[in-house]
Amino acid sequence: MAQASGFAADHRVRLLQGTGELFPALIEAMDAALSDIQFETYIFDFTDSGASVAQALMRAAARGVRTRLVVDGVGTGPLPRVWAERLHAAGVQCCVYSPLGPLGLLLPRCWRRLHRKLCVVDGRLLFCGGINVLDDFHDPKHGRLEAPRLDFAVRASGSLVALASDAMEQLWWRLQAVRDARQRRLPEALQALQALRTASVTSAARRAAHGDAGQFMRAALVLRDNLRHRSQIERAYRRAIGAARREIIIANAYFMPGGKLRRALVLAALRGVRVRLLLQGRYEHFMQYHAARPVYGALLAAGVEIYEYAPSFLHAKVAVIDAQGRRPWATVGSSNLDPLSLLLAREANVVVQDAAFACDLRQRLLRAIQQAGRRMDPARYAGRPLRQRLLERIAYALMRLALWVTGQRY
């Protein structure tokens, strides 16, 4: 199993906002690919600009680049037949992570999802963040959006790329082994397990081979899974929050932090750190919208500033701490600060310790707060209607019940 890397100063990391910046960079890299493309995403939607990413994958596969695509069985489900046929004809190898059975999400084991968004090209270039293959102006449930979805990703080179590639390679062969075993194709399953062992053995050599020394940008890849890396992302957040001296800015789509993370934010605010949260202000899902609000009270009482973003859907999972201080810290990734991400899903975040990168992310978040953030008034929050409080209590109770069913503590 690939492990989260420590910080190394051999990276170049560029911040990308929305599909308008990510997709062109992603397609350019795919069109220049020489050997292989590894791609994982929670949602792969072929509407509008999403189709251009699929076409880039097909162009690469058609010219002989080994191209592997893994999508989540809930976020994407079975690929649309016409696109599945096109991808197969072009030579793109596709796999669905944990497809749902007849009982759907009624089985708790099906709540463990592939939520990370990763792409590695030729083992040298990594794209990582919160952006699905989903056009910024399109939502599968809500249709055409008036304003683009707010989300971020990074384009990175350096030693963390091989770490991401290792994690994706191991997941690919694990999925092949499970598929072949279920189909009683035992020789193929054994071959997949052998490939999985080979991928683990060669990981150290590949990390050494793909370093990009001399770029002087400190960064690390932090992974979350349900085996050896159960709490790495949350711990990274808590350490950075605990070390904050001046400012914390977090933008998070589904914000339901556990007790330890809430206490870290409260303590930061009480010791004089300015804490600003940019959160979802537009109704998307019952649980995520209502279950989040009961945790706001203690934060507001401590002086935390909460802003709700409503022009479009907030999908960002980013944070920046002390961007203008001596120890800047920033993260961009797929992990929400909620139980699904921090306890159940496979996630991936890139953490960067670089002033220029942190200031870039800070300015973009401040712009979103100033132009589109609606500040939550503590008095108005305390006096919210009884019906709203009831919905919040129901949603929060359902969330706690779900955690109890899975045996998780949060």
Alpha helices by DSSP H, listed for 219-349, are 232-243, 259-270, 286-292, 296-301, 339
Supply the pLDDT for residue 213: 44
Gap between the Cα atoms of 65 and 37, Å rounded: 7
* Higher pLDDT among residues 28 and 176, named by residue: 28
Cβ count within 10 A of residue 232? 19
Q: Give how far Cα 131 sits from Cα of 4, 31, 400, Å.
A: 21, 20, 28
Supply the pLDDT for residue 376: 96
pLDDT at 352 over 50: yes
pLDDT band at 6 (very low <50, low <70, confident <90, very high): confident
pLDDT at 240 over 70: yes
**Strand pairing category for 125-129 and 152-157:** antiparallel
Q: Give how far Cα 74 sits from Cα of 41, 160, 236, 308, Å.
A: 11, 28, 27, 27
Please state the rounded mean pLDDT for residues 180-188. Answer: 63
* Higher pLDDT among residues 230 and 351, named by residue: 351
CATH of 14-215, one of 3.30.420.40, 3.20.20.220, 3.40.190.10, 3.30.870.10: 3.30.870.10
Could you tell me the pTM of the whole model? 0.92
259-290 pLDDT, tens digit per residue, is 999 999 999 999 999 999 999 999 888 988 89
Terminal Cα-to-Cα distance of the chain (whole angstroms): 25
192-218 pLDDT, tens digit per residue, is 556 655 665 444 444 444 444 445 799
Supply the pLDDT for residue 228: 84
pLDDT band at 1 (very low <50, low <70, confident <90, very high): very low
Phi first, then psi: what are they for 320, rounded to 5°? -140, 135
For residue 99, what is the DSSP state?
-
Gap between the Cα atoms of 14 and 156, Å rounded: 6
Supply the pLDDT for residue 201: 44
Gap between the Cα atoms of 362 and 322, Å rounded: 9
pLDDT at 10 over 90: yes
> How many angstroms from the chain centroid is the CA of residue 137?
19
Helices 49-62 and 18-31: angle between axes, nearest 10 degrees: 10
Phi first, then psi: what are they for 373, rounded to 5°? -90, 130
Q: Which residue numbers are catalytic?
A: 115, 117, 122, 315, 317, 322
pLDDT at 70 over 50: yes
Supply the pLDDT for residue 184: 59
Gap between the Cα atoms of 148 and 331, Å rounded: 21
Q: For the chain, where do the domains classified as CATH 3.30.870.10 start and end? A: 14-215, 219-406
Q: Give how far Cα 245 sits from Cα of 240, 258, 267, 275, 327, Å.
A: 10, 22, 11, 11, 9
Supply the pLDDT for residue 379: 95
Which numeric CATH code is attached to 219-406? Answer: 3.30.870.10
